[in-house]
Amino acid sequence: MQRQTWSNTLTYILTVAGATIGFGATWRFPYLVGENGGGAYVLAFCIAMIFIGIPVILVENVIGRRRMLNSVDAFGGKTSDGIKISNSWQGVGYMGLLGSFGIMAYYMVIGGWVLAYIFKIIIGDFNISSPINAQYTSDFYNSTIENNPLLIGIFTTIFVIINWIILKKGVIDGIEKSVKYLMPFLFICLLIVVARNLTLEGASEGVKFYLTPDLSKITPKLFIDVLGQVFFALSLGFGVMITLSSHLKKNENLIKTSVYTGILNTLIAVLAGFMIFPALFSAGLTPDSGPSLVFKTLPVAFSHIPFGSVICVFFFLLLIIAALTTSLPIYQVIISVLEEKFKLAKNTAINLTLGSIFLLGNLPCILTYGPLKDITIIKGKNIFDSFDFISGNIFFVLTAFFCCIYVGWILKKDSIYELSNQNALKGSIFKLWYYYVKFIIPLIILVIFYFGIF
């Protein structure tokens, strides 16, 4: 059966952008900016996106489109010299699957948190129509998120069902068509919140903190956080880029699409900061509250502005749309392997993927703040944080590392041949990219891995 391909370049770019613009851009990026002193982190992130993010996107695009197969079978076949590539390289694909499983275990639960917040604001249980303080939001977070596994279980299930309905329609009819509508809506929500927050009294101080680099804030931790965020934000090492690019036509310009992807992701992440920091400084709040920034600190800021409840709902709608455009492709990575490699029917593959992740991942993460709160897995971390640590610091980083080794040392000139559209495109950029990902990028990734673990 001929493999489905994206209907046009724009829908592919929107789908890839959707896959990479999730909680990484809208939740993780802002709190890391706050923790690392503002503008210095933003500047380092933009530089890292150019010199690390985009080249590694190309690595996974080359692997995916070369064989136009799932993220496991993409590793293999024969080189142009007729040399058979060892099937042991498929272990890299399986490593990406484990990472995808790990991230979806807790990612869907955060989606449940966001839906719970939207629901509670709409019915009036979380009242931010008048100024509130940090104690109010902290108490609400504790009672709604940390001590109410039944409520979070219900909303996580709803989020999983939404994904299930879309995935049953397939890659093109389901994911592509959904993203075609979701991405414009995401931009609209984003612009509404940004426009409102930039007009607040004292917003300029937030913008100054956000955009003015303070060189004294540049530390080894900042660089490690930046490099880790680039991988997280671009879904590198998940198998997502390999899977999505396997549906690309052979005449698509991979360099152009990867550059657009990097620009869009950076744009959304930077715009997310313009939503958050003007509101925080306008309300006189500190930006360094860490992962709880979105759920505890930001609602306080919204409560101090006119129509704050409406703006807050738009903000959380933006988060859930971003999460959905990311969760669909990550699920599809695993579903494609079950369908193509293990010959399962599409519905069986979908049910097995979402069902096993829900039972073995989502439920334990939901119960982390309930009956399983005293259980620790690694480095004293609870179940929820362990899924995050193992997938983000081990599987994703190692998968990206071996992808670079595979392209640079196994495919060799075949990678240039694929990137240049079978030599139809000319220029020195192809060889420059090849030697860069062969020698430089693997060393950078090893540094990320070492500091991420130790």
Q: How far apart are CA 429 and CA 377, in angstroms?
A: 45
> 393 with 133: CB under 8 angstroms?
no
- What is the structure's pLDDT at 2? 65
- Cross-strand partners of 84: 78
C-alpha distances out from residue 328 to 86, 191, 381, Å: 31, 24, 27
- What is the structure's pLDDT at 13? 84
- 445: domain CATH number is 1.10.4160
Q: How far apart are CA 79 and CA 52, in angstroms?
A: 26
pLDDT in tens, 294-311: 899 889 988 988 888 998
3-class DSSP state for residue 102? Answer: helix
152 assigned to some structural domain: yes
3 assigned to some structural domain: no
- What is the structure's pLDDT at 223? 86
2 assigned to some structural domain: no
> 25 with 322: CB under 8 angstroms?
yes
Helix (H) or strand (E) holding 363: helix 363-367
Mean pLDDT of the chain: 91
Q: Cβ atoms within 10 A of the Cβ of 60, count? A: 30
4 assigned to some structural domain: no
- What is the structure's pLDDT at 113? 95
pLDDT in tens, 377-413: 988 899 999 998 899 888 988 999 999 999 999 999 9
- Cross-strand partners of 78: 84
> 425 with 252: CB under 8 angstroms?
no
Whole-model pTM? 0.92
> 341 with 70: CB under 8 angstroms?
yes
- Ramachandran bin of 124, using left for φ above 0, alpha for ψ from -120 to 50, beta for the remaining angles: left
1 assigned to some structural domain: no
Tally of structural domains, the chain: 1
The set of residues, in sequence order, having a beta carbon less than 8 Å from that of 338 and lying 6+ positions away, is 344, 348, 349, 352, 353
Count CA within 13 A, CB hemisphere, residue 229: 30
* End-to-end CA gap in the chain: 47
The set of residues, in sequence order, having a beta carbon less than 8 Å from that of 8 and lying 6+ positions away, is none
pLDDT in tens, 153-169: 999 999 999 999 999 98
- What is the structure's pLDDT at 204? 95
- What is the structure's pLDDT at 172? 65
> 95 with 352: CB under 8 angstroms?
no
C-alpha distances out from residue 131 to 35, 128, 135, 226, 228, Å: 25, 6, 12, 34, 36
- Ramachandran bin of 290, using left for φ above 0, alpha for ψ from -120 to 50, beta for the remaining angles: left
3-class DSSP state for residue 84? Answer: strand
Helix (H) or strand (E) holding 382: strand 381-382
114 assigned to some structural domain: yes
> 351 with 41: CB under 8 angstroms?
no
Question: Which contacts of 288-291 are long-range, i.e. CB under 8 A and separated by 24 or more positions?
Answer: 288/34, 288/35, 289/31, 289/34, 290/31, 290/34, 290/35, 291/27, 291/28, 291/31
- What is the structure's pLDDT at 62? 97
User: Buried b vs exposed e over 267-302: b needs ≥16 C-beta within 10 Å?
Assistant: ebbbbbbbbbbbbbbbbebebebeeebbbbbbbbbb
Q: How far apart are CA 286 and CA 275, in angstroms?
A: 15
385 assigned to some structural domain: yes
**Kind of pairing, strands 381-382 and 376-378?**
antiparallel
- What is the structure's pLDDT at 272? 87
Output the six-digit token pair for 340.
């193509």
Range of the domain at 332: 9-453
- What is the structure's pLDDT at 132? 92
The set of residues, in sequence order, having a beta carbon less than 8 Å from that of 262 and lying 6+ positions away, is 49, 50, 53, 54, 57, 234
Output the six-digit token pair for 353.
């993927």
66 assigned to some structural domain: yes
The list of the chain residues with pLDDT below 70 reads 1-2, 172
Looking at residue 376, what DSSP letter applies?
E
